[in-house]
Amino acid sequence: MELELNTQPVTGPVRAAATLVMLRDAPGGLEVFLIKRHGLSDVLGGAYVFPGGKVDSGDAEIDMQAHLDQPPELLHHLLGEPELEPLAAAGLYVAVLREAFEETGVLYASGADTPVAKQATGLLREGRAFDEVIAMLALRLQASELTPWSRWITPRVPSHQQKRFDTRFFVAAVPGGQEATHDNHEATESVWLAPRLALQQYWDRAIQLAPPQIMSLAHLSRHRSVASVLAQARSRRPPLIQPEPVDHDGMRVLCYPGDPGHSVRERALPGPTRLQLRDRRFEPVDGFEALFSQEVPEPDYNSKSSRLSPGT
């Protein structure tokens, strides 16, 4: 299954969202957890993604003093977005903890093991709200286990999505004593994969990935352990990635910071600085191995290339 390209500009609001890149150390090295979106989902249906979703209004209304292990002011500082209010920043952490639990059954909370996580899942399936479940079980969410990784904003112009999101990506090790799975509702399959293997399966057309997952997996493939990922994440401010589409020789191309076709000259990510839509999927201009290159490609722009306004 390939991604469908939306042919109309996206005119709706930009929705705040949060995604968790769940990590573990395996005998063969670093692995990430991916879930397959239900084929009928209106956002990346059929694609393999990191768990996550849009921020709900209630995420910032949870009793944070009682049920969050870090104060909003500290989470606001760690997120590195001074324009946000502390409660809104903390709400992003709550949102990604909630989405990870709803979609994978993994509960980042003090003292939460498999039996507690299953009990919480049962309450959720009874129709209880997430904040109600947390209060009923007297749990304290572990925002301290999450580290901001990157921020992606969907362009306004026609792309692979019909909605726009301002998504904060977090990284975290999977808690010991818990097993990640899929909910058989929003997600129909799940798998732990080494980042490079996930990209190889995408290249072989065994799985479907969207550009943010492709670029994130290419970045993660440079790490051999959870500790390495977390150390890098804690050492810098999360990069802001706003893809800028161009048409080049009749082909849609997504340019990223550092690419000659992008308005931001400073590179934000390792690997390729552009992906092209070829045969109904996005891929590096120079082939599979370009995903793991440190060099910036220098395409030959000519009069046939035209920038499309990325919007914000």
In the prediction, which pLDDT does 188 show? 80
Distance CA(25)–CA(21), nearest Å, equals 13
CA angle 78, 225, 187 (to 5 degrees): 75
Hey, CA dihedral for 179, 232, 285, 169, is it positive or negative? Answer: positive
Tens of pLDDT, residue by residue, the chain (312 residues): 444 444 555 567 889 999 999 999 999 999 999 999 864 455 555 789 999 999 999 999 999 999 999 999 999 999 999 999 999 999 999 999 999 999 999 999 998 988 999 999 999 999 999 999 999 999 999 999 999 999 999 987 655 556 789 999 999 999 988 999 987 777 789 999 999 999 999 999 999 999 999 999 999 999 999 999 999 999 999 999 999 998 878 888 999 999 999 999 999 999 999 999 988 899 998 899 999 976 543 434 333 333 343 333
In the prediction, which pLDDT does 4 show? 47
pTM of the model: 0.88
Q: Phi/psi of residue 103, each to 5°?
A: -95, -25
CA-based nearest residue to 152, from 293, 261, 50? 50
CA-based nearest residue to 171, from 24, 2, 5, 12? 24
Domain 14-307, CATH homologous superfamily name and number: Nucleoside Triphosphate Pyrophosphohydrolase (3.90.79.10)
CA-based nearest residue to 100, from 181, 40, 195, 210? 181
In the prediction, which pLDDT does 210 show? 92
